[in-house]
Amino acid sequence: MSRLLRAEWTKLRTAPGTGWLLAAVVLVTAGVGAAVAAALADPPYDVARTALAGIVAGQAVVAILAVVSVGGEYGTGMIRTTLTAMPRRGGVLAAKAVLLCGLTLAAGSVAVLGSLAAARLLLPGGEALSLADGPVLRAAAGSVLYLALAGLLSLGVAVAVRDPAVAAGTVLGLLYLPALLTFLVRDAGWQRLLYRVSPMNAGLTVQVTEPAGLPLGPWEGLAVLAVWAAGALGAGGLLLRRRDA
């Protein structure tokens, strides 16, 4: 496994867009969060969730990072060289997942800390934001995990689809369309169902400091996103083993 990790790390580290995309995760997430914080007037609102609103935008950059990390290899044909040198296809996917997850956790941590710092300065009531507070800590840590799981979901889709543009469109559709439908559907039963199965709505429940009355608890919601990510990686891994590069 160490050989696979070294090889995948070399490819990821030397890819021209990796550093820029990781920086964009931080800047977009913290920037959008700061803009939302600056635009709001006095409460009531969930201070922690508002401070971390940039996660909704930052996940799109994470998705692009995951798609590019795989799609570039298929686009150039380098995937054939990779699988010839390292025929354990499941191991190759696992190495990609470990590295993507690690980089996303690192960038996501910086982005979340930046978002909280900006909200403390700009958001009315932001002085209440403290990682010593249990719900705020859960919202912050859960947001970092959310970005990592969104990255793994994107990686699985990218491996299954192979075409970067189609993979990016598929991932963004999975993340944003069910969440949008939740607001468009009038029926309360359908709204509840869509909320429970939507990877974004369910996953971001972890940010809510007082989740009473929501269809899912904070960690249950994050588990829904984890199931989506596991399903995408499982499908991608199966297709990677069964078809030619």
Summarised one tens digit per residue, pLDDT across range 169-200 is 999 999 999 989 888 888 888 888 988 999 99
pTM of the model: 0.92
Number of domains into which the chain is organized: 1
**What pLDDT score was predicted for residue 132?**
84
Q: Find the helix or strand (DSSP H, E) in which 41 lies.
A: none
Q: How far apart are CA 166 and CA 107, in angstroms?
A: 25
Range of the domain at 190: 2-242
Q: How confident is the model at residue 224 (pLDDT cuts 50, 70, 90)?
A: very high
Q: Please indicate whether residue 244 or residue 216 has the higher confidence score (pLDDT).
A: 216
Q: What is the mean pLDDT of residues 39-66?
A: 88
Q: How far apart are CA 78 and CA 71, in angstroms?
A: 10
**What pLDDT score was predicted for residue 71?**
73
Mean pLDDT of the chain: 87
Q: How far apart are CA 61 and CA 83, in angstroms?
A: 27
**What pLDDT score was predicted for residue 173?**
94
Q: Find the helix or strand (DSSP H, E) in which 229 lies.
A: helix 218-242
> Which segments of 158-209 are extended strands (E)?
none
**3-class SS at 125?**
coil
For residues 139 and 207, the answer to whether their CB atoms sit within 8 Å is: yes
**What pLDDT score was predicted for residue 77?**
64
Q: How far apart are CA 245 and CA 243, in angstroms?
A: 7
